[in-house]
Amino acid sequence: MSDDYCLRMERVSKTFSGVPALTNVDFRVKKGEVAALVGENGAGKSTLMKILSGVYKYGEYGGGIFINGGEAKFSSPSDAENAGVSMIYQELSPFLDMSIAENIYMGNYPTNFGGVHWAKLYDMSKKLLETLGLDYDVKMTLRRLGASQQQLVSIARALARDSAILVFDEPTSSLTNSETRNLFGIIKNLRDSGKSVVYISHKLDEIFAVADRINVLRDGENAGEFETGRCEAKDIIKSMIGRDISQMYPVNKAKKGAVVMEVKNLTVGHPYVPDKKLIDGIDFSVREGEILGLVGLVGSGRTEILNSIFGSHKGNHSHELILEGKKTEIKNPYEARNARMALITENRRFNGIVGIMGIDTNITLPYLKSVQRSFVIDKRKEAGTAAKYVEELRIKCSSVKMRLEYLSGGNQQKVVFSKWLNTSPRILLMDEPTRGVDVGSKVEIYEIMNKLAESGIAIVWASSEMPEILAVSDRILVLYGGTIKGQFSRGEADQEKILALASGVN
């Protein structure tokens, strides 16, 4: 094999309880190259990277890892880091009450007479952040930064180790568009300086923007390798899911009925700034069979709108809510569910699922009455209910008792859909329902949305992905600064108009 390859993983295999997760996978990265790793949720990307990063020890998998020609036998993540492999994970695990500088150089502080050389630590951290185009007070605790800023500090920490191989796992999941562009510039600079970069993302536009080569996994096996300039998105998608997608964005053809929900003068206060409003007196309505999209930049108020309506927003808020012609007051999610309303939250791991519980328990948890018999859960009925949704939504699992933490992200999201469908909602609120979900699962979610609309359910959803919000929504509300700046029907909307309004341009 050519010495140009800084990293080679050869015939890597891994099983869990006898079920293969990886089968003879080959993966390689050249010096000074950005190699993308793509595949559906459950394709084996995370398992492969956990092997590379030492989470799964040498001897717990088949095959080998070779760095600069020599075989690597990692017993821990620290072994991988010492060998020049750094991971930037999608799920952050920072030390929130320590300073930015301490987070960046954790475990590698400069010392002076046996103690931490604080002046040097702060100076090193400031200079490193400047190379990333960041101007943070490095003495400030990480807790004071937003999620996207914390993600950038996590990237800085990996760069501080001067690693030869950097693995970015969905690094833009918490970043704004401008921060994403900045990150791409950083990655290209790393490549040009001779670093090897592995880039994992479900967003194919990102892959084509930053990667030199694309490696595809499907069902734990190699499914294709492409040079970025010699392939199209459809080639990657076909390799990922094993079939052509005839229609990426199926159109909602449901007939629109009567107004199901009307929201008047919705106002949401800032939790920490008494006189500031996150949402300032907006009005809107949605009809049965309609898919209403909410679009806006970070901080526009999309999440606050959905949570306020559902009764799950913790801050001060007020509005008049009319459901099917009747004025209704909802103070909490319990009352929302009883009003036949459902909410699919932005972060399923935080407040959408119980990972240590089974699929059956998660699906029936919001509405135990549906499987209850004399104040006791009917386990057979619970399993039967779960089995129905597993079949209808094509949830990939070994059994309905399988713990959710072992499912892929796309299948976890289908369980979230299932648990709310089991409550027979009339109104479905969704906040970023396709975030962290692969292309194949996204299409299935769009199809689920259309089927629900055809059954008469009114859908209000928020998404940061402009192509899907434009293609899937029947009507779009554009938010800026907590107000509605514009409204478009499907045929009227285009990306340029929406971005102008979402940026505050009249």
The model's pLDDT over 419-443, given as tens digits with 9 standing for 90+, comes to 888 889 999 999 988 887 777 788 8
Pairing of strands 111-112, 85-88: unpaired
CATH number, residue 301:
3.40.50.300
> Which of 474, 431, 177, 435 lies closest to 304, judged by CA?
431
Looking at residue 74, its pLDDT comes to: 95
How far is the C-alpha of 475 from the C-alpha of 254, rounded, in Å?
Answer: 13
Per DSSP, which regions of 228-369 are E strands?
Answer: 259-269, 277-287, 291-295, 317-323, 326-328, 341-344
For 58-103, write each residue's pLDDT tens digit: 999 999 999 998 999 999 998 998 899 988 876 555 688 899 999 9
- pLDDT band per the 50, 70, 90 thresholds, residue 257: very high
DSSP string spanning 95-116? Answer: -TTSBHHHHHTTT---EETTEE
Burial of 466 (0-12, 13-18, 19+ CB in 10 A): middle
Q: Which residue has the higher pLDDT, 146 or 230?
A: 230
Pairing of strands 326-328, 62-67: unpaired
Question: 233 with 380, same domain?
Answer: no
Query: Is residue 74 domain-resident?
Result: yes
In a domain, 258, yes or no: no
Q: Which residues contact 338 (CB under 8 A, 6 or more apart)?
A: none
Residue 274 lies in a domain: no
Q: How far apart are CA 61 and CA 70, in angstroms?
A: 18
Check whether residue 386 and residue 480 sit in a common domain. Answer: yes
Q: pLDDT digit string (tens) for 442-489?
A: 888 899 999 999 999 999 999 988 888 998 999 999 998 888 999 999
391 and 302 in one domain?
Answer: yes
Domain span holding position 226: 5-241
- Residue ending a domain, choose from 241, 272, 297: 241
Of how many residues is the chain composed? 506
Q: What is the mean pLDDT of the chain?
A: 87
Residue 276 in any domain: the answer is: no
| Cα angle for residues 485, 279, 331 (degrees, 5° grid) | 135
pLDDT tens figures, 22-52: 999 999 999 999 999 998 777 889 899 999 9
Residue 365: pLDDT over 80: yes
Beta-bridge partners for 14: 22
- CA 412/CA 405 separation, integer angstroms: 8
For the chain, the domain total comes to 2
Assess if residue 270 is contained within a domain.
Answer: no
How far apart, in whole angstroms, are the C-alpha atoms of residue 150 and residue 129? 12
Identify the domain boundary among 226, 241, 256. Answer: 241
Q: Is residue 51 assigned to a domain?
A: yes
Q: What is the mean pLDDT of residues 212-238?
A: 91
In 3D space, the residue among 306, 379, 385, 380 whose CA is nearest the CA of residue 347 turns out to be 306
Burial 399-413 (b: 16+ CB within 10 A, else e): ebebebebbbbbbbb
**Of 35, 39, 36, 30, which Cα lies nearest the Cα of 8?**
30
pTM: 0.66
Percent of the chain scoring above 70 in pLDDT:
95
- Strand ranges inside 83-161, DSSP E: 85-88, 111-112, 115-116
CA distances from 157 to 50, 106, 162, 231 (A): 19, 8, 9, 34
Q: Identify which has the larger pLDDT, 460 or 251.
A: 460
Does residue 227 contact residue 196 with C-beta atoms inside 8 Å?
no
Q: Is residue 278 included in any domain, yes or no?
A: no
Distance between CA 253 and CA 289 in Å, rounded?
A: 9
Question: How many helices and strands, by DSSP H and E, does the chain display?
Answer: 17, 24
Give pLDDT tens digits for 259-318.
Answer: 999 999 998 887 667 777 888 889 999 999 999 999 987 778 888 899 899 988 776 777
Are 22 and 164 within one domain? yes
User: Does 492 lie in the same domain as 406?
Assistant: yes
Spatial distance between the Cα atoms of 173 and 411, rounded to a whole number of angstroms: 19
- 225 and 301 in a single domain? The answer is no
Residues 123 and 182 in one domain: yes
Please check whether residues 486 and 373 belong to one and the same domain: yes
Same domain flag for 216 and 330: no
Same domain, 234 and 295: no
Give a yes or no: residue 271 inside a domain. Answer: no
Cα separation of 333 and 307, whole Å? 9
Residue closest to 438 by CA, chosen among 402, 478, 384, 396:
396
Please answer whether residues 63 and 9 qualify as being in contact, where contact means their C-beta atoms are separated by less than 8 angstroms.
yes
Tell me, what's the pLDDT at 466? 84
- Point out the domain boundary residue: 241, 261, 277: 241
Residues 228 and 346 in one domain: no
What is the reported pLDDT for 101?
Answer: 94
- Classified as helix, coil or strand, 315 is coil
Q: What pLDDT score does 89 carry?
A: 73
Instruction: For 188-245, give the DSSP string.
Output: HHHHHTT-EEEEE-S-HHHHHHH-SEEEEEETTEEEEEEEGGG--HHHHHHHHHSS--
For residues 292 and 237, membership in a common domain is answered with no
